[in-house]
């Protein structure tokens, strides 16, 4: 069997629980939508579309408040587009409002951080439009390596003042680069390096509740990516369920929910 194309998500799923990997990527059992997945997707859409808007009516005198208003309006529109899907989650009205308010704070925090960078460039002599253009990243770029049989979507690629940074957006509560995030970033660096024949300088996670946390890219980071990709291919050569053992732990079931495949593993209780 030819190796399947892996992703940072599939590799981290296997490391979390091989049986969950089996149900997700081999049997491809359906999963239930949840507020975090839906919110994550619509926030990514807003941040991607932000850099596509016209700025012809903006200049050094009015960009601050107008950009803040625009990103707020963009979130409201995107939230309404997903209204029916959000309602089907069965959340209480107050809980849904809480998530909306929290998401609004995230996009405004993103905008405030972006505006700080714009202002810094304006102080150095650039106009608003020049600063906006220079800080605009490439967004949602798909990379695939047929050599390593791995792929990924990079949320933002910044090339600013001759420094290349690969950024992933996260709505996580905890603003730290975990081992899972580090592996994801390492794979992005490997994919970028293979395609462009040069290393990015930094990879990072923009924690939308906080700031962007970066890692420097070096050969050790690429080595980590190669090792984990090799391991996942070796571990997933078969489609036999018994070769994907369960790894019981806190992520099987918690106070407010359970793994999508809990009943498949343990039966209904």
pLDDT digits (tens, 9 = 90+) for 185-210: 999 999 999 999 999 999 999 999 99
pLDDT at 1 over 70: no
Residue among 257, 177, 241, 236 nearest 212 (CA): 177
Residue 205, classed as helix, strand or coil, is strand
Enumerate domains of the chain plus CATH numbers.
35-135 (no CATH), 137-237 (3.90.320.10)
The Cα–Cα gap between 48 and 46 comes to 5
The Cα–Cα gap between 40 and 48 comes to 12
The Cα–Cα gap between 142 and 154 comes to 6
Q: What is the mean pLDDT of the chain?
A: 95
The Cα–Cα gap between 167 and 169 comes to 7
pLDDT at 269 over 70: no
Residue pair 135/120 in contact by the 8 Å Cβ criterion: no
C-alpha distances (whole Å) from 148 to each of 6, 42, 115, 203 are 9, 30, 38, 20
> Which of the two residues, 269 and 5, has the higher pLDDT score?
5
pLDDT of 268 reads 67
pLDDT of 186 reads 98
pLDDT at 175 over 70: yes
pLDDT at 54 over 90: yes
Residue 126, classed as helix, strand or coil, is coil
The Cα–Cα gap between 67 and 51 comes to 11
């Amino acid at each position: 069997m030819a190796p399947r194309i892996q992703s940072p998500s599939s590799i981290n799923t296997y490391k979390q629980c091989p049986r969950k990997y089996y149900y997700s990527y081999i049997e491809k059992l359906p999963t239930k939508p949840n507020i975090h997945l839906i919110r994550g997707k619509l926030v990514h859409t807003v941040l991607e579309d932000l850099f596509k808007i016209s700025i012809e009516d903006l200049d050094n005198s009015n960009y601050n408040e107008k950009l803040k208003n625009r990103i707020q309006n963009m979130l409201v529109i995107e939230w309404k587009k997903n209204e029916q899907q959000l309602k089907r989650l069965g959340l209480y009205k107050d809980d849904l409002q809480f998530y909306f308010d929290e998401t609004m704070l995230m996009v405004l925090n993103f905008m405030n951080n972006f505006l700080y960078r714009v202002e810094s460039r304006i102080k150095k002599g650039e106009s608003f439009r020049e600063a906006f253009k220079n800080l605009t990243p490439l967004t949602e770029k798909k990379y695939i390596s047929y050599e390593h049989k791995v792929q990924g979507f990079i949320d933002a690629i910044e090339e600013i003042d001759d420094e290349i940074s690969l950024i992933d957006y996260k709505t996580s509560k905890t603003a730290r680069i975990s081992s899972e995030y580090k592996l994801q970033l390492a794979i992005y660096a490997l994919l970028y390096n293979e395609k462009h024949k040069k290393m990015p300088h930094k990879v990072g996670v923009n924690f939308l509740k906080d700031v962007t946390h970066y890692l420097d890219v070096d050969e050790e980071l690429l080595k980590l990516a190669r090792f984990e990709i090799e391991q996942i291919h070796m571990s997933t050569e078969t489609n036999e369920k018994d070769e994907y053992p369960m790894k019981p732990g806190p992520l099987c079931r918690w106070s407010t929910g359970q793994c999508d495949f809990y009943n498949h593993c343990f039966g209904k209780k």
